[in-house]
Structure 1
Amino acid sequence: MDIVFNSLLVHHILSREVESSRPDSMTFDLNGTIVEFSKEDFLLVTGLWWSSIKLVRSVEVMESLQLKYFKNLMTIEVHPTKFKECYKMLEFENDLDVVKISLVHYYVLGLIGKGKIKSSINKSLLDDVKDLEYFNSLNWGYILCERTFNGLKKVLKDKVTSYKENVWANEIISSIAGRTAVQLNNNVVP
């Protein structure tokens, strides 16, 4: 199935969010039909899962991947574009480091989809991935679901009124077409 992302449709749906009794879901009123999007739905759509196992990161001292491969580039956070550029240029000492840095790369640019303008990568991911067993035990379904829901809830913050005004204007303009002006031909604005 070919699916094309439609940001206007997503904004339209998000502007119709209503309060939900469940803190782990988002509820929308779509033309009188109440639709709920829960964390279970998120996991079903993404193919991710909840992890009930939570390991503690190993305390053994390992050389920092940040210092080993990124030197002073990542003091606390780095822009995803810079991380991507550096990743392409890295000369790894061993295959395990390739796997570890690639996991961070995939997480940041694939799963999270960090925007190229306003986001940054926290270097703690490089600390977490040093212990692969710990990194793989993280509850990725929960982490990604929380980030997605928080992002969806923030996207229209302070923009709902503006968006509704634009939708209203489009509906009004389309409803008066043919009553207030007549288009004489395709080359002229009525």
Structure 2
Amino acid sequence: MKKHFKYLATAGLIAALLLAAGCGDDATDKKKVDKPDIKTEQKVDKKAQAPVVKPPEGKYYRYPSYLDDVTKTPEMTPEMIKYVDDFASTVKLAPSEKGKFLNDSRINRPNEEYHRIWLHAYGSNHNRNNKFKNSKGKEVYQQEIYHIRMSVKADTKKVTYVEYSVYEQNEAIPDGKSRTIMKKVFK
């Protein structure tokens, strides 16, 4: 009896395999079913597909390391670069800046009329180790920071405003002072 059961179980297994493979009696009557396209069923991550444009470095400016896509900030046009070069070539930057301003421009907002370009760098007299008390008795450190601020018309990329300024704080000017080297306004 065990022998007959063994043969019957084997025959049943073979029949099940043949039916699963499509080799049964009604296999010729079955229509082929299209397999779903796997690519269309997967969720598409739009962020992963967006092209990332690494920020370029100019002669006198660089982008911060956290910015991985320069298309989020205003485009540095030759006109803007000329303003940066003009100011940067007249000042002495701290060795830590490696001769470049940090382009920390504001991220573009939808439908804005003007883009803002902000660059800054430490000057050669910037010293976090040189502390002193200002006229209010507060302990501060010596500072020298250069700023470049520009406004650019969003649709034409034409520069409409330029300001160069220096922020200083040292023992000779204990309260710190911001002085404007040059300001250009276009109307």
Q: TM-score, normalised by structure 1?
A: 0.18
Between Structure 1 and Structure 2, the one with more helix by share is 1
The TM-score with structure 2 as length reference comes to 0.18
Higher RCO (C-alpha 8 Å, min separation 6): 1
Larger radius of gyration: 2
